[in-house]
Amino acid sequence: MSRKDAIDSLFLKKQPATDRAAIDKSAVRVRAGAISAMGSSLQEMAEGAKAAARLQDQLAAGEAVVSLDPSTIDGSPIADRLPADVDPKFEQLEASISQDGQQVPILVRPHPETAGRYQIVYGRRRLRAAVNLRREVSAIVRNLTDRELVVAQGRENLDRADLSFIEKALFALRLEDAGFDRSTIIAALSTDKADLSRYITVARGIPLTLAAQIGPASRAGRSRWVALAEGLGKPQATDAIKAVLESEQFKHSDSDTRFTLIFNAVLRPPAKAPKKVRAWSTPKGKKAAMIRQESGRTALIFDERLVPTFGEYVADQLDRLYAQFSETTGGGKLDK
């Protein structure tokens, strides 16, 4: 079993279903005071304006908004978002829809295999909110090929709220494993060949179960995910990760904090062995020497003021002392 498989097998939580609700907007770092509130409001206004413009274009093209029973809508064949256990933004979205109604429709396509059903292209959080509120969901129904679906799905997420690095990486890997060619994946992620290769390399190096438990970690960039993927090959990584996953701090933390906990556990330098220091005293009680043991080394330090020339004497006796030691321990087992 490979180390990646070993790490994958130790995780305790079941992998979340791939059709769980996606996040419409990336989490905004919370800042104190009025500046935070102003920043959030401006961002929401900007995203709302973009959504309104897209809706206007869609309606101008003759696409009607219809109301659908959420139970008739299945997930996309390719998941693009990681669920977040702690997601205050979703609670705000659900409260907004409950009070003011759904302002922006989701996009679905007719299910390619089941009549009367649909597959979602984007708008998973709005769909999830509609389910929770037990109300119909506003949707635009568009006939899309598989390629058109994943490209629209990727472009919408990049436009409304940028996918985190690991979400892009996993989305790219899922598309490749589903048989989509590189040109389609590049179009869906608006990326290039070099970045796409890096995405897929990292996604193959991070167990999906671990990524799902961490979540999107929107503040963790490419370099840290690359370092974590490489760090999983360390001998102590499996035990370190298991200890973090079982901690109460991890269970109650947001996604970015969870990433930091795992990252530090895997990549922080191993703790140095504690120093062992003891003193040697003469028969008259004078502390004339210090024996210091650290990292596989032992140092014997004499105080020349108290026992002048004694250190030199001990050094001259090393051959005799070692011969006695060898006889005592069975013939010099350590002299190899």
Of 292, 290, 300, 296, nearest to 321 by C-alpha is: 300
Query: Is residue 68 within 8 Å of 142, Cβ to Cβ?
Result: no
Res 270: pLDDT: 61
Q: Which residues pair with 109 in a beta bridge?
A: 119
For tokens 């509120």, the residue is 133
Q: Structure tokens of 110?
A: 């007719």
Identify which of 301, 325, 305, 328 has the alpha carbon closest to the alpha carbon of residue 315.
301
The rounded distance, in Å, linking the Cα atoms of 205 and 216 is: 16
Q: Based on C-alpha coordinates, what's the Rg of the chain?
A: 31
Record the tokens describing residue 134, joined without a space. 């037990």
For the whole model, what pTM was predicted?
A: 0.56
Angle at alpha carbon of residue 266, lines to 265 and 271, rounded to 5°? 65
- The confidence score (pLDDT) of residue 335 equals 52
CA distance 248 to 274: 28
All residue ranges of the chain with pLDDT < 50 are 12-42, 44, 59-62
CB atoms within 10 A of CB 251: 12
The SS3 assignment for 233 reads coil
Nearest 5 degrees, angle CA 215-CA 221-CA 223? 120
**Packed helices 255-267 and 222-231: angle between N→C axes, nearest 10 degrees:** 50
Tokens at 46, concatenated: 């900007």
Residue carrying structure tokens 């129904």: 141
Residue 188 CA to residue 154 CA, distance in Å, equals 5
